[in-house]
Structure 1
Amino acid sequence: MADAQHEEVLARIAEGLLYTETEAAFLAPRRRQDEIFAYNHTPPGEAERRRELLVEILASVGERTVLLPPFHAAFGSNVHIGDDFFGNVNLTFVDDVGIRIGDDVMIAPGVTLTTTGHPVHPARRADFGRFSEPIVIEDKVWIGSNAVVLPGVRIGYGSVIGAGSVVSRSIPPMSVALGTPCRVVRPITEEDLAERTA
């Protein structure tokens, strides 16, 4: 019977429907809290140990990945990171479901990627009622400091998210987007190749 109940909860989670802390308790063994603690307390000179821990923590991790401690994650095991990733300090993954990050992505300090939200009506938040939707960050994206990316968002190839933005809807490729709520302000063009040159 427990397996059938677990399957039913997983199906609701996959559909972005409400579920509770008690219903999802069987997922707790997938949390990597001890490994995250160890990673955040590993000395800077122990690059190999940090890499070993990152492989243990994340669902998948590419080559030449830099993730500066401390970082935080609800699970860790639902995060996929591509090659040549740079994540600055205090990156938070609320990864109750999948977070997929492509290649050549840069994330500035203090960014939160949260796949999970809560209903507006307090009666629906009993037992920490919540919903979860995956986040996808495509290749070559840059996310500025203190941005928050909300459930279900996809950030398109090459786009830039301005510092302090709250990204509540998907952003198309090759766009500069910023604000609260985050909105596209312009496309990225060939003219941007000349920025900050002599």
Structure 2
Amino acid sequence: MVDYFAGDSRTNRERMLAGDLYIADDPESARRARRAARLADAYHRAALADESAARSILTELVGSLGEGAVVRPPLYVDYGENITIGARTFVNYNLTALDVAPITIGEDCQIGPNVQLLTPTHPVDPEPRRAKLEAAEPITIGDNVWIGGGAIILPGVTIGDNSVIGAGAVVTRDVGANVVVVGNPARVIRRL
């Protein structure tokens, strides 16, 4: 088997954060993932009892939470700390945001239920898969974007301002500003 890390003294976490190939076995990443799972669970529980307490937990979980942003639990993340949510953005139930790489959600967005924002990638070639290698690419969502329920946004995608992603769409490449995209793979059906 090929040694993909020959001459590379970085930890797998350092490789992951740099967007390079890594193996998801770093102890620091595991600690941060457990922290995120505990906070996400506490957020869900607190949201049922005390909204102000819940907001402080959510603020601790995500990297940045804009004023007036609302995230309905449950929320599923890898680390949480790599997620930025802009002001006045509304996120409905069951967001899965795998934030191995940064996920940036702009201001005034509407995100439907069961949306998946997926930054991890896996090699296509068999040899790196055998070595259990992964990588990650950031996701960027502009301002005033609407994402319909069940949509999936794949690694490395940027969505331009004022765009609409149809329910159930699978977004595999960048989406420009002021368009409506639908389908699998998502395609532009209308300019706004």
TM-score, structure 1 normalization: 0.85
User: Would you say 1:30 and 2:32 are equivalent positions?
Assistant: yes
User: Would you say 1:72 and 2:72 are equivalent positions?
Assistant: no
Retained in 2: the 8 A contact 1:97–1:133?
yes
| 1:175 counterpart (172, 176, 179) | 179
| 2:10 counterpart (1, 5, 29) | 5
1:185 equivalent in structure 2: 189
Question: Structure 1 pair 38/73, CA: closer, same or farther in 2 (3 Å)?
Answer: same
2:166 equivalent in structure 1: 162
User: Would you say 1:20 and 2:17 are equivalent positions?
Assistant: no
The one-letter code sitting in structure 1 at the alignment partner of 2:32 is: R
CA distance in 2, matches of 1:64, 1:5: 39
4+ runs deviating over 6 angstroms: none
Question: Structure 1 pair 108/121, CA: closer, same or farther in 2 (3 Å)?
Answer: same
> Structure 1 residue 127: deviation in Å?
5.5
> Structure 1 residue 120: deviation in Å?
2.0
Provide the alpha-carbon RMSD of the alignment: 1.9
1:46 equivalent in structure 2: 50
The one-letter code sitting in structure 2 at the alignment partner of 1:121 is: D
Retained in 2: the 8 A contact 1:82–1:103?
yes
1:110 equivalent in structure 2: 114
CA distance in 2, matches of 1:127, 1:77: 27
Retained in 2: the 8 A contact 1:91–1:111?
yes
Retained in 1: the 8 A contact 2:13–2:29?
no
The one-letter code sitting in structure 1 at the alignment partner of 2:31 is: P
User: Would you say 1:146 and 2:150 are equivalent positions?
Assistant: yes
CA distance in 2, matches of 1:54, 1:92: 15
Question: Structure 1 regions of 5+ residues with no counterpart?
Answer: 189-198
User: For 2:30, what is the secondary structure of its paired residue?
Assistant: helix
Retained in 1: the 8 A contact 2:16–2:136?
no
Question: Structure 1 pair 12/79, CA: closer, same or farther in 2 (3 Å)?
Answer: closer
Alignment of 1:74-93 (within 5 A): 74-93=78-97
TM-score, structure 2 normalization: 0.88
CA distance in 2, matches of 1:127, 1:38: 35
User: For 2:174, what is the secondary structure of its paired residue?
Assistant: coil
Question: Structure 2 regions of 5+ residues with no counterpart?
Answer: 1-8
User: For 1:119, what is the secondary structure of its paired residue?
Assistant: coil
Identity between Structure 1 and Structure 2 (%) = 40
The one-letter code sitting in structure 1 at the alignment partner of 2:10 is: Q
Question: Structure 1 pair 63/154, CA: closer, same or farther in 2 (3 Å)?
Answer: same
Question: Structure 1 pair 145/62, CA: closer, same or farther in 2 (3 Å)?
Answer: same
The one-letter code sitting in structure 2 at the alignment partner of 1:115 is: T
> Structure 1 residue 160: deviation in Å?
0.1
- How many residues align? The count is 183
> Structure 1 residue 33: deviation in Å?
1.3
Retained in 2: the 8 A contact 1:13–1:131?
no
